[in-house]
Amino acid sequence: MEGWARAVERMPELSAATAALARRRGGARTAAPPASSALPFARFREDEALVGAWLRLESAASLPMQSHAFASALADTLLADVHIEVFHVRSGDEISALLALCREPRRFARWTMVAANQVCEPDDALCRDPESARLLAEAIVRDGRAVEADRIPEGSPLIPALRAALRGKGWMSVRPATPTPTIALQERWKDPASCFNSGRRSDFRRAARRAGEFGEVSFEILAPAPAEFDALFDEAIQVEARSWKREAGTAIAVDSAKESCFRHYFRSACERGEFRIAFMRIDGRAVAMQMALESLGRYWLFKIGFDESFERCSPGTLLMLHTIGWAANRELKAYELLGDLEPWIAQFWTREQHDCLWVRAYPFNARGAAALAVDAFASLRKRLARA
């Protein structure tokens, strides 16, 4: 609290750049600029050298949400009216660490991770090594705003780096967050039904028989050409719209901004050869769908849906069983379900998970104090509501 008291008393609202300008005007000798800095995301769209450096750094990625393509899709759609800044560490033409953060255009607004802001997926900084993570964290802390990360991987190098950068300059809170489910694709998953007990295998056979009663059953997993993408994407979201998701308001087809975001992102993945779209069909009609990426040696399942009029034969379950076997036979390392570890996933498919953390960083200044007060009040309201 002493750090915040000093900060509020002085009200230091000068940015690092403004402070440097003031020193120059006073005739003081300026220090060499740091290796870490921040630029508006628009610069990472316009400058080919910056785009190329980001794409090369993606070799260090552990999540598809760390990609330039994912940030671009969000910036053009769900985050079109939000300020996005890319904190980065640059040496010559190369970037060794970066993190895109977004905020509202308000004086006391905090930084949030772009993936968690709208699509609630885990996100992380791209870092080549621990030293780059250290410099990146120092740049973020130097900016002087609170930072929130709702789902950051437990092993992220940014977490210890941010804690170290805040020492004497702020306070950091870290708690467990919602994990993401995963299936490590060992050899046995090449015959996925064999990985379940006799009762589950019986359920699969019963569902397959019922599907056969509706008509001829077929499965397909496609890596479409860009010219084929839109028609297949439209077919997939119509399958999803024939499920409970439409009434719940979570179907892509009922949210034009979210539809535009995923169309943009999946089309770019299609152009890179990473997009996968899977269907279960009965007499040629799509009754279940998946939209996924094959990237980083894994199958990333972003969107699923099934036609409720065929619910009796569990088409979503049969399609998932098929795609798990397909991914295992392609020698992929894991089947990543993304989203939350929901009860149906833990009950039927996997209890394996990637642990994530909830992180809040509050600098010792007026902005940090304001963010902490807001969060403390929100936490108090939740406790009172549960009481």
Rounded average pLDDT per 10-residue block, the chain, 387 residues: 48 40 43 67 94 96 95 93 94 93 91 82 94 95 94 95 96 94 95 93 95 96 96 94 74 84 95 97 96 96 93 94 97 92 81 94 95 89 79
- Residue 1: per-residue pLDDT: 53
Fold classification of 2-177+356-386 is Aminopeptidase (3.40.630)
Q: Do domains 2-177+356-386 and 186-332 have the same CATH topology?
A: yes
Asked if 181 contacts 343 with a C-beta cutoff of 8 angstroms, the reply is: no
- Residue 33: per-residue pLDDT: 42
The string of DSSP letters for 258-302 reads: HHHHHHHHHHHHHHTT-EEEEEEEETTEEEEEEEEEEETTEEEEE
Pairing of strands 275-282, 285-295: antiparallel
Structure tokens belonging to residue 149: 């990360």
CA dihedral 43, 83, 359, 387 (to 10 degrees): -170
Beta strands in 142-297 (DSSP E): 147-153, 170-184, 217-222, 275-282, 285-295
Q: In whole angstroms, what is the distance from residue 113 CA to residue 115 CA?
A: 6
The answer to whether the Cα torsion of 201, 202, 206, 207 is positive or negative is negative
Asked if 103 contacts 112 with a C-beta cutoff of 8 angstroms, the reply is: yes
Query: Which phi and psi (to 5°) does residue 189 adopt?
Result: -75, -5
Domain regions of the chain by residue span: 2-177+356-386, 186-332
- Residue 257: per-residue pLDDT: 87
Structure tokens belonging to residue 82: 């939000």
Fold classification of 186-332 is Aminopeptidase (3.40.630)
- Residue 255: per-residue pLDDT: 82
- Residue 338: per-residue pLDDT: 87
